[in-house]
Homo-oligomer: A and B are copies of this chain.
């Protein structure tokens, strides 16, 4: 308890030096005698002194807080993503002496973010996803707040970091085509999420790379509910589509349910893949072919970028992280093709 009230002035007095000296001994800035530094450091350690970061911040016009913007809407499938992101971010921040301040925003309300900025509680911000019409991003730009976006955006002024969703989807789709898929359907979520568009592009890239492929493909976007998926799947079965590509594990789960209800065997009668590998499908049988990203690493790097920016260092505007395609049972070449 007592340590909590120990101040730099106490130490200075105790050691018979000035506050300036103590400050310098701790920060390492400014010239200071080796011996003096040691004396101070020993005292500090012995008494478990730790500086008041808030006061330090006030003097330096910094807060040592990073703002983390999280969507407040509930979408179960994305939750593991955000949690892992948070983990990576908060670890990296912690290691650099920063803490993470939370701002939850919804499509129409970014007041929590505004508060944090207005109250000067943060030095910079990490956005955890990008939208086509991105209110938080706009706000930060207008107010000159440094930030990095997890996700992609065409605005070349924003420092952004993302997994290569397009490349990943291109490769996965390519494998399906090369594996003999003749008719396939893509089911995706909201188009306002830029990641949705990138996945779609990757899907299409694969066809463009194979001009000789002749088959049928169709795309359903902005699909959000299980009911919609149900309808779509029903239609696809009538049209004898043989492969369903889902943009995320929630949609994939719905597709699997719909197929199960209708007694359609996977992969026997229908191949199914997901463009995102969360734990939602973990216990599914058969195991689902999908793409895996290292999300915690994404969080760590995003935070690292922001930290660099805050240090005044120049950073790459665009960072693209890798992916891993995991082929599993749901796309095993079917013994009796549909």
Contact = CB atoms under 8 A, between A and B. Distances in A.
A261 interface: yes
A222 to B, nearest CB: 18
Contacts of A253: 283
Interface of A: 1, 4, 50, 52-55, 57-58, 63-65, 68, 70, 72, 74, 76, 79-80, 82-84, 86-87, 90-91, 94, 99-104, 111-112, 115-116, 118-121, 143-144, 226, 253-254, 257, 260-261, 278-280, 282-285
B76 A280 contact: yes
Contacts of A58: 54-55, 58
B284 A257 contact: yes
B226 A282 contact: yes
Contacts of A144: 1
A99 B119 contact: yes
A170 B281 CA distance: 31
Nearest to A102: B100
Contacts of A119: 50, 52-54, 64, 99
A99 B83 contact: no
Nearest to A49: B118
A4 B226 contact: no
A194 B143 CA distance: 45
Contacts of A101: 65, 99-102
Given A52-B120, A121-B53, A279 B99 contact: no
Contact of A102 (B53, B68, B111): B68
Contact of A76 (B80, B87, B99): B80
Given A72-B87, A91-B112, 13 more contacts: A1-B143, A1-B144, A54-B57, A54-B63, A54-B120, A65-B121, A74-B84, A76-B279, A79-B80, A86-B102, A90-B103, A99-B102, A261-B285
Contacts of A86: 70, 102, 104
B79 A99 contact: no
A74 B104 contact: no
Contacts of A74: 80, 83-84, 279
Contacts of A285: 257, 261
20 contacts: A1-B144, A4-B143, A53-B120, A54-B54, A54-B63, A55-B58, A65-B121, A70-B86, A76-B280, A86-B102, A86-B104, A90-B102, A90-B112, A94-B111, A99-B121, A101-B102, A253-B283, A254-B283, A260-B260, A261-B285
